[in-house]
């Protein structure tokens, strides 16, 4: 199977923060892969902009090193890499001053698609937007890409949206959440709305509960000071898990159109009930044999910030009334895994004897690692001895089902950047969507802040605090196992 590659129009992409870690690991290697696969025209320009004082040649060396580190050797052909590097240039720019802006204005072409990637801290978003306008660099159809966090709470999110709106219309602002660019996340919509098999059953009548897990094995070392001001709720639940929840629970949009999709996602967020404190478990990882504790990584021995959170939420609408959604995310856990699990109800009446076993269908959507899906169905256990029921998976791991070509499926960032160039906002968050998510999140955070709740300690390499297991056990359920 060969993926169909659709070229994009000529463009100028300015990457602010082009020498930063995100640009080095994701953005620049991703752009090279799109160039290698023929999706990026040779007339495209990628302009690096940052505080570092380097020239074009030094920037090209920096990019070449990044490509060789993060792109497979098979694609690092000298001819293709040299041609890609010819598309690059660099301008030292002072985001808070005047330096470099006239030089940048001279480089950006007015007659091609213009995109400006803000790969910088959110405190600089407003300054960059103002200077792009002041120096008349961004044309009337220019697009800006902004990274999370989109504010720290509802007030700051509103302020940020208002700042960007001074110079850019909503259809020019691309709030990027790389989870929405993952192949399996988009396949979730294909499975739901492209198959008659699932959508009639995708409701409270047939679904027992849904689990959404984003687990990481790493801690916060190296970014403890930042993380201690956010925590798992702000860093993961308010954006990544919220987006997965919306795509899982939303109504079918009228068409696969940016605003139609985002309208349905917004309805889910606005239908979320407030969460009772008893339905929330927060945790902090302890020290391991050869690793520091969260308190040590954060350099704050009195920190009440969570590195783990699990919660039960409800959606107050016709489709999901009475269905439990369980969200879980944490650092230093047993395995790195992102997964959505839809557990269907057991048959209302079993025609088999009680000793044959009880079972229920389960659809698992794996986002990482080993992207794919499996559907557990009940069959008779092979062999003599009467009727015995067991669950077996109908497994579709992309790497196995689609062969070697799956390795060429674009990374989330490269797909999303190409969507920016195309002007397709389907997989990006809208301003009112961001504000609605904060409007639901803020009271939850305020509640435990007022009570000065201390997170539960948990062992690194575990599945989180014991209380997170109890959260499901009291409902007669269990978390899906974290598999290495």
Largest CA distance in the chain: 82
What confidence tens digit (pLDDT) does each residue in 320-344 have?
999 999 999 999 999 999 999 999 9
Q: Give 290's pLDDT tier (boundaries 50, 70, 90).
A: confident
* Residue 2 confidence class, pLDDT cut points 50, 70, 90: very low
Q: How far is CA 445 from the centre of its chain?
A: 21
Per-residue model confidence (pLDDT) at position 433: 96
209 as an active site residue: the answer is no
**459 vs 356, more confident:** 459
Evaluate the CA torsion angle 287, 291, 294, 296 in order and state its sign: positive
Round to whole Å and give the CA distance between 108 and 130. 17
Overall pTM > 0.85: yes
Find the catalytic residue in 240, 314, 456, 473: 240
Q: What is the mean pLDDT of residues 182-209?
A: 87
| Percent of the chain residues past pLDDT 70, beyond the cut | 90
What is the C-alpha separation between 484 and 474, in angstroms, rounded? 26
**pLDDT above 60 (res 479):** yes
CB under 8 Å to 184, separation ≥6 — which residues?
A: 365, 366, 367, 371, 372, 373, 398
**How confident is the model over 371-410, as pLDDT tens digits?**
778 888 776 666 666 666 666 666 666 555 555 545 556 7
């Amino acid at each position: 199977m060969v993926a169909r590659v659709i070229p994009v129009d000529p463009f100028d992409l300015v990457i602010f923060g082009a020498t930063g870690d995100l640009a080095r690991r994701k953005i620049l290697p991703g752009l090279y892969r799109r160039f290698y696969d023929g999706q990026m025209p040779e007339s495209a320009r990628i302009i690096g902009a940052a505080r570092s004082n380097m020239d074009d040649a030094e920037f090209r060396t920096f990019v070449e090193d990044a490509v060789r580190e993060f792109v497979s050797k098979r694609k690092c052909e000298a001819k293709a890499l040299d041609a890609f590097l010819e598309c690059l240039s660099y301008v030292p720019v002072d985001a808070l001053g005047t330096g470099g802006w006239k030089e940048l204005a001279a480089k950006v072409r007015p007659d091609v698609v213009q995109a400006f990637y803000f790969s910088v801290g959110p405190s600089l978003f407003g300054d960059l937007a103002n200077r792009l306008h002041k120096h008349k660099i961004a044309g009337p159809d220019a697009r800006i890409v902004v990274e999370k966090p989109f504010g720290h709470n509802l007030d700051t999110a509103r302020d940020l949206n208002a700042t960007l709106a001074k110079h850019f219309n909503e259809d020019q602002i691309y709030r990027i959440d790389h989870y929405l660019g993952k192949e399996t996340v988009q396949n979730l919509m294909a499975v739901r709305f492209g198959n008659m098999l699932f959508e009639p059953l995708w409701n409270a009548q047939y679904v027992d509960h849904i689990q959404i897990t984003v687990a990481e094995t790493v801690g916060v070392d190296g970014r403890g000071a930042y993380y201690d001001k956010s925590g798992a709720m702000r860093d993961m639940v308010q954006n990544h898990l919220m987006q997965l929840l919306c795509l899982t629970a939303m109504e079918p949009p009228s068409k696969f159109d940016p605003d139609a999709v985002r309208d349905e996602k917004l309805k889910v967020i606005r239908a979320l009930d407030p969460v009772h404190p008893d339905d929330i478990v927060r945790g902090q990882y302890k020290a391991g044999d050869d690793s520091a504790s969260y308190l040590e990584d954060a350099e704050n021995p009195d920190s009440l910030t969570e590195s783990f959170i699990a919660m039960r939420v409800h959606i107050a609408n016709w489709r999901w009334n009475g269905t439990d959604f369980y969200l879980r995310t944490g650092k230093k856990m047993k395995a790195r895994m992102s997964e959505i699990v839809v557990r269907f109800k057991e048959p209302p009446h079993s025609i088999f004897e009680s000793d044959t076993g009880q079972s229920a269908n389960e659809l698992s959507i794996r986002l990482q690692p080993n992207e794919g899906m499996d559907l557990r169905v009940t069959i008779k256990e092979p062999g003599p001895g009467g009727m015995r029921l067991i669950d077996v998976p109908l497994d579709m791991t992309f790497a196995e089902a689609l062969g070697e070509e799956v390795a060429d499926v674009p990374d989330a960032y490269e797909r999303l950047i190409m969507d920016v160039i195309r002007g397709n906002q389907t997989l990006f968050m809208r301003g009112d969507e961001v504000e609605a998510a904060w409007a639901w999140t803020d009271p939850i955070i305020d509640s435990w802040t007022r009570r000065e709740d201390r997170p539960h300690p948990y062992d690194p390499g575990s599945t989180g605090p014991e209380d997170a297991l109890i959260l499901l056990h009291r409902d007669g359920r269990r978390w899906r196992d974290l598999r290495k």
